Amino acid sequence: WLGLKKIYSITQQGSYLLRIELQDWRGSRRHIEYSFSLGGPSSNFSLQLSRMAGSIPNALPEHAELRFSTRDTARASSCPQNHLGGWWHSECEETNLNGKYVTPRSRGRLDRGKGLYWKPKKGRYYLLKSTKIMIHPTDLKSFD
């Protein structure tokens, strides 16, 4: 994890895309890409997303301001306490890519909810083996 301050500093240099790659326990790999903006420390690193492409249904709210929260900073939401790890929570059910590493043998609902998962509003619950969260400039020519 690079850290929010460093990611914010990078994104202030231009326009970036966010790509999330997910692998489930059956070996399936999927991805989703968003155009995004990331606020600074004064906004709790608020994240705004707009889906661009992908092979998995969206599980994060678009065009909404999602504030990053952790156990020690959560006020209105109990998501970080209930699901471990800091994340951009809107509703506790949609996704947690920064949770506890839980293997498929942990079938208990409580443990599964604390693991790495991706859950679209109307769709399958994906318990994940691995995740990658990457950013890249929208105009790669600027790196020539």
Spell out the domains of the chain, with CATH numbers in brackets: 4-137 (3.90.215.10)
- Burial code (b: 16+ CB inside 10 Å, e: under 16) for 59-81 equals bbbeeeebbbbeeeebeeeebbe
Q: How many whole angstroms separate alpha carbon 87 and alpha carbon 78?
A: 12
pLDDT tens per residue, range 44-75: 899 999 999 999 888 888 888 888 877 666 55
pLDDT for position 62: 83
List 36's β-bridge partners, or say none: 49
45: helix, strand or coil: coil
pLDDT for position 143: 47
**pLDDT range class, residue 113, cuts 50, 70, 90:** low
pLDDT for position 80: 47
Q: pTM (2 decimals)?
A: 0.80
pLDDT for position 110: 47
**pLDDT range class, residue 18, cuts 50, 70, 90:** very high
Q: How many whole angstroms separate alpha carbon 110 and alpha carbon 121?
A: 19
| Of 52, 60, 58, 48, residue with least CA distance to 34 | 52
